């Protein structure tokens, strides 16, 4: 008689493989420096406030022409700003150059000559602007004569080299014209060279050019489109 139970060894049962979980890479947390900058925004250097105070009553530089002591103080503040200017990503800083900048103060003789002598032409100089378009490679210097007049110098601009801490802007003026409401008079273009942006933040920009002239501009509350 056959046995009621088989004494054969039971077959082993292999459990199905456990599916492996898919792991997503967690985003890299911000660096400690970036985190601290987000919580505690950088304070502007003291030299910035000193500079703005020193140029506030200088009529865009006209008064400084006869005050060498004030000029020395202003240049000292500019040098101090250049010394503490952050050597951050100069490519992004170059992009920050784009926009409409309004003159606060300068030592550039040509601009100051026009501003000073505008009343002889029965007008007065309004905003003096520098309009920069880095992606488009365009630089426009504009002296406005409200309500509708302007002296406009068009030029090309290129940032060189892209990884320089105090990046340099090389320019070549290609056209100049004086225009009114329904008229314009062309002038031969003049000027080429470079200027260094020695300080740049969200509010102001400070530059020194090939001739040693200085320029302090603020970001205008409007855009000039020509």
The DSSP H or E segment spanning 25 is none
Q: Where are the alpha helices (DSSP H) in the chain?
A: 32-39, 46-55, 68-84, 90-96, 109-117
Question: Can you tell me whether residue 214 is helix, strand or coil?
Answer: strand
Question: Can you tell me whether residue 148 is helix, strand or coil?
Answer: coil
**Residue-by-residue pLDDT tens, the chain, 226 positions:** 444 333 444 444 555 555 554 444 444 555 554 455 455 555 778 999 999 999 999 999 999 999 999 999 999 999 999 888 654 445 456 678 899 999 999 999 999 999 999 998 788 999 999 999 988 989 999 999 998 899 999 999 888 765 444 456 787 888 899 988 888 999 887 778 888 888 999 999 999 998 999 999 999 999 998 7
CATH architecture under which domain 43-219 falls: Beta Barrel (2.40)
Could you state, in order of their start, the residue ranges of all structural domains in the chain? 43-219
Q: Long-range pairs for 171-174 at CB < 8 Å and ≥24 separation?
A: 171/139, 171/195, 173/139, 173/141
């Amino acid at each position: 008689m056959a046995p009621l139970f088989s004494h054969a060894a039971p077959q082993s049962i292999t459990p199905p493989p456990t599916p492996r979980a898919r792991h997503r890479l967690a985003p890299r947390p911000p660096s400690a420096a970036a985190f601290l900058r987000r919580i505690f925004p950088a304070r502007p250097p003291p030299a910035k406030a000193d500079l703005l105070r020193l140029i506030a009553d200088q009529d865009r530089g006209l008064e400084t022409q006869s005050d060498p002591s004030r000029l020395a103080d202003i240049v000292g503040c500019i040098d101090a700003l250049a010394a503490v200017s952050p050597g951050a990503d100069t490519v992004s800083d170059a992009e920050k150059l784009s926009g409409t900048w309004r003159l606060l103060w300068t030592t550039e003789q040509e601009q100051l000559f026009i501003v000073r002598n505008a009343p002889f032409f029965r007008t007065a100089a309004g905003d003096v602007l520098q309009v920069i378009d880095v992606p488009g490679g365009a630089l426009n210097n504009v002296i406005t004569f409200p309500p509708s007049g302007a002296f406009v110098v068009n030029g090309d601009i290129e940032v060189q080299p892209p990884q320089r801490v105090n990046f340099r802007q090389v320019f070549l003026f290609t056209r100049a014209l004086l225009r009114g409401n329904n008229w314009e008079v062309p002038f031969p273009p003049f000027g080429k060279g470079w200027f260094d942006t020695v300080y740049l933040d969200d509010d102001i920009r400070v530059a020194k050019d090939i001739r040693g002239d200085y320029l302090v501009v603020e970001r205008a509350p409007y855009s000039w489109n020509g």
